Structure 1
Amino acid sequence: MSKPKIVILGAGYGGMMTAVRLEKELKAEDADITLVNKHNYHYQTTWLHEAAAGTIHHDRTRMLIKNVINTKRVKFVQDTVGSIDRENKKVALKNGEIEYDYLIVALGFESNTFGIKGLAENAFAIRSVNTARKIREHIEYKFASYNNDPDAKDSDLTIVVGGAGLSGIEFLGELVDRIPDLCKEYDIDPNKVKIVDVEGMPFVLPPFDRELAKYAQNYLESKGVTFKLSTFIKEATPEGVKVQKKDSEELEEIQAGTVVWTGGVKANHIPADSGFETNRGKIQVTEDLRYPEDDHIFAVGDVAWSSPKDAERPYPPTAQIAIQEAENLAKNIKHILHGEKTEAFVYKPKGTVASLGEKQAIGVVFDHKLTGKPAAAMKKVIDDRYLLMLGGVPLVLKKGKLNLL
């Protein structure tokens, strides 16, 4: 009798942790496990804002998959997923197809422009290692060209950030750390650099405690960031953005050399395109993370609509939730293979920390509010804890942030 085939699509937080935990939960004779990902590396999505600003090298954010998983237990296939054929239990890849008995969909997110005119063409988005690298290189090019290009304009040194959620605020924190170094390196007057954040809500960091969010806003403003709250980007152009204040009909043009959109993400399009019943693009799963219409398919991370019972909104798309879902799912796969009852997924929040650069942060950890350096130290501990869970002490020593404490 052949072993069941378990296929994991995507090597983000949910997919990677599922693969690592299955490797520990199952014996070699229990199942064949295959992980499919378009890159040969896994990357820390929560570190991309640092790579985009240039405060860390982009290679620091990623690790080769073969160095994390046991390739004798988990087969890795580098390929791009095209579609999922539920009827025949096959996944179409760019370079072939793969059959499964149990499928775990962990395909992650895509940037969501909400239909804003010109945004896809004229703005950057922090969504991958390569896009983060492009943002860093673009900003550095603008600074390097300012004193050498006769056509350079002061607005080339203006950076507009769309969105003041977690990603936007963390990127701003890295920018205010990075800009002084760029000015010194390229002999630019810091007063010529402008950083503008445009946010539709009347406050920053909507999910956070208001006191902590105000701390973050005040700190960033003290470093030169201008916030335009209750304001919406209506169009992005090659010269910058056009914005509109809430309850106003007038458009204001902000000329900028760099526009970075952090205003939202959406679930990967492949499940919906493959005929899955979705809610806002997400696969609405049962309490054990299973697709209701197929007992052999599961979903975790940004592509899964996982929520508390009877909640109208899913859990937010965070690494913490994806990791906990992966741990629960690995146990449930083991239960299923052994004919046992599955366990309901119960999210146990451990807190959230938002970095404001290397030495500043805000957050709530185990119901305790933290600001400043203590919060920044806790953010590094959280980052290293994930590495410890994923690859043990060797991975922490190789990729961790302990040396920055």
Structure 2
Amino acid sequence: MSKHILILGGGYGGLLSALSAREHFGADDAKITLINRFPTHQIITELHRLAAGNIAEKAVALPLDKLLRNAKVDLRIGNVKEIKPDEKSVSLDDGGNFTYDVLVVALGSETAFFGIPGLQENSFILKSVNDANRLRAHVESRIAEYSKTKNKADATIVVGGGGLTGVELVGEYADMRSELARKYGIDPQEITLYCVEAAPSILPGFPAELVDRATTSLQKRGVNFLTGLPITKMDGTTVELKDGSTFETSTLVWTGGVQGNSVVANCGIEVNRGRAVVNEFLQSASHPDVYIAGDSAVVMGPEGRPFPPTHSWLGRWVS
């Protein structure tokens, strides 16, 4: 009897799960449906380049219908509203409803704002192609405005978070500073770049030698690092740091934290700090017909500590 494998999310984990599942199950054995909020598989590790205008959108947004064409996977574009694991059903914002025999959840993470006042309302994030395009257009408009008004906030770009995404993004802005200044007839030195990190140094967890090299290289290219100084408030265009200091910016990009997907966290399966608890086969600890891949899950190690999330091997384990 044919079973229905329902996959939520068309990122790395979801896409690999769909393709791997079809390798193991013929069309007569299983119907496979993949639901994604965008019609494209988005290469999120390259979004910083798109945000800076250094790569074409088509290079980071690959049509899912083409990627899945030969796998005989049904594609549905929609935003997941609710998962009901006890009823084995999933509902979408547009009213769509799906039942399943096996569910694979690969919805990824969400941005964590840690309750910092004004941060969510007054910052940009970088989680999708739309986010990157919106950010690129905003930066260009602010620099264009600065060339007319000389309002320093418009020429100040702040990246909150000195992890890999934040450092890559501020590096892209450092590389494009001269071109951007030339385009709008201003001096490159008039564009100020900040990277603010709560930890004592950027790139927490990376080797010290790599951190030192990255810091030195970016500082030479005009990046100002503010480390050990968490952002405590964002009031309009005013950034406030833990030491009480403030500065003005029209562009704050927040890359400083992620959390488990709220749909997963609130659906009734067992979670740990907002991420689904799974076994070594990525099965939910509470619902064995639900598998969770990627940033939606936490795999607990033998000492009770979570393993770091990865995408590629998770996608293969699911099927």
The answer to whether TM tops 0.5 is: yes
Match of 2:113 in 1: 113
> Which residue of the other structure, out of 327, 335, 339, is the alignment partner of 2:316?
327
> Which residue of the other structure, out of 276, 280, 283, is the alignment partner of 2:273?
280
Q: Secondary structure at the match of 1:295?
A: coil
Q: Deviations over 1:352-382 (max 9, x none)?
A: xxxxxxxxxxxxxxxxxxxxxxxxxxxxxxx
Q: Secondary structure at the match of 1:130?
A: helix
Matches of 1:72 and 1:25, distance apart in 2: 11
Q: Secondary structure at the match of 2:259?
A: strand
Q: Provide the TM-score with structure 1 as the length reference.
A: 0.76
Q: Secondary structure at the match of 2:230?
A: strand
Q: Report the residue type matching 2:311 in the other structure.
A: A
Matches of 2:193 and 2:145, distance apart in 1: 18
State whether residues 198 and 230 of structure 2, in contact with CA within 8 Å, keep that contact through their aligned partners in structure 1.
yes
Q: Secondary structure at the match of 1:271?
A: helix
Aligned residues: 318
Match of 1:75 in 2: 74
Matches of 1:196 and 1:88, distance apart in 2: 49
Q: Deviations over 1:284-317 (max 9, x none)?
A: 101110012222110000001024332423314x
Match of 2:97 in 1: 97
State whether residues 109 and 260 of structure 2, in contact with CA within 8 Å, keep that contact through their aligned partners in structure 1.
yes
Tell me the percent identity: 35
Q: Secondary structure at the match of 1:144?
A: helix
State whether residues 240 and 256 of structure 1, in contact with CA within 8 Å, keep that contact through their aligned partners in structure 2.
yes
State whether residues 269 and 287 of structure 2, in contact with CA within 8 Å, keep that contact through their aligned partners in structure 1.
no
Q: Deviations over 1:162-206 (max 9, x none)?
A: 110011111111111111110111111111111011111111111
Q: Secondary structure at the match of 2:307?
A: coil
Matches of 1:72 and 1:153, distance apart in 2: 54
Matches of 1:207 and 1:21, distance apart in 2: 32
User: Which one scores higher on RCO, CA 8 angstroms, separation ≥ 6?
Assistant: 2
Quick check: 67-76 or 85-94, which moved more? 67-76
Point out 4+ residue stretches in structure 1 off by more than 4 angstroms.
none
Q: Secondary structure at the match of 2:68?
A: coil
Match of 1:140 in 2: 140
Match of 1:160 in 2: 158
Match of 1:313 in 2: 306
Match of 1:399 in 2: none
Match of 2:4 in 1: 5
Q: Deviations over 1:329-356 (max 9, x none)?
A: 22xxxxxxxxxxxxxxxxxxxxxxxxxx
Alpha-carbon distance, 1:263 to partner: 0.1
Match of 1:198 in 2: 196
Q: Secondary structure at the match of 2:210?
A: helix
Matches of 1:77 and 1:129, distance apart in 2: 19
Match of 2:287 in 1: 294
Alpha-carbon distance, 1:55 to partner: 1.6
Match of 2:264 in 1: 271
